[in-house]
Amino acid sequence: EREVRAFVPTEYWSITARCARADGMGPEFPARLLRVDGGKVRISSQAVAEALLAELEALREAFRVSALVKKQKRRNPVPPFTTSKLQQEAVRKLRFTARKTMQVAQQLYEGIDVGDAGSVGLITYMRTDSTRVSPEAQAEVRTLIAERYGAQFLPERPPVYKSGKGAQEAHEAIRPTSVLLEPAQIASHLTRDQLALYTLIWNRFVASQMRPALFDTTSVEIVAGRFGFRASGQHMTFPGFMQVYVEG
């Protein structure tokens, strides 16, 4: 509390240039000022920012690319849900409170009448800190991924996720009891809240068993006189698990 009360906020300004290729090809892109005279820049007042900006205005024709680096970046899928992660994501994506999330999850776990099959428990036990998935469930979801999305979305081996320290590995992660019970197929038997939460759990589980997403990333260093700017961007080349689910 003393540290909070003693904190003195400091003013900080940033300068971003709107850049484009000289030949007019390609989109406009932002580049942020990072260095002045080779050192890291810190703009502490409006007066300093305006002085630098006036100097930069005179260098409009001097901007040039000094370095360009391209790399491939992988974005790995997130594990299937644990209790805490389900509660967090339900807040972000569904605006559910933690209490409501657990109430609806309890209903899905205890069983829903889905027609001819009668009452079916749709998800595994919803109080767990484990990310473990049974081999049988992984085999089932791998078949679905290959058939629904294509073999290119299927990793060579089923992924294994590390649970938190002290996790009860007797339990599994929160997942559909059968991934073949797709949300759209049983939607008419569920309330709106039940369908929303079941869809979230289903999507997260399927995505957790898919290949990483791939991006081509580009980082550009730009110089203008004594000023150094940097721009970066990325382009998705393969959606991987993001075809199904992106964490909120």
Residues annotated as catalytic are 125
Q: How far is CA 110 from the centre of its chain?
A: 31
Place of tokens 């400091």: 10
The one-letter amino acid code at 121 reads G
The one-letter amino acid code at 194 reads Q
Determine the Cα angle at 71 with ends 151 and 65, to 5°.
Answer: 145
For residue 169 the two structure tokens come to 């590995």
User: What gap in Å lies between CA 198 and CA 105, rounded to an integer?
Assistant: 8
| DSSP H or E stretch at residue 207 | helix 192-208
Beta strands in 78-132 (DSSP E): 112-113, 119-120
CA nearest 120: which of 200, 203, 174, 189?
A: 189
* Cβ–Cβ under 8 Å, residues 85 and 91: no
The one-letter amino acid code at 207 reads A
CA nearest 173: which of 91, 99, 79, 105?
A: 79
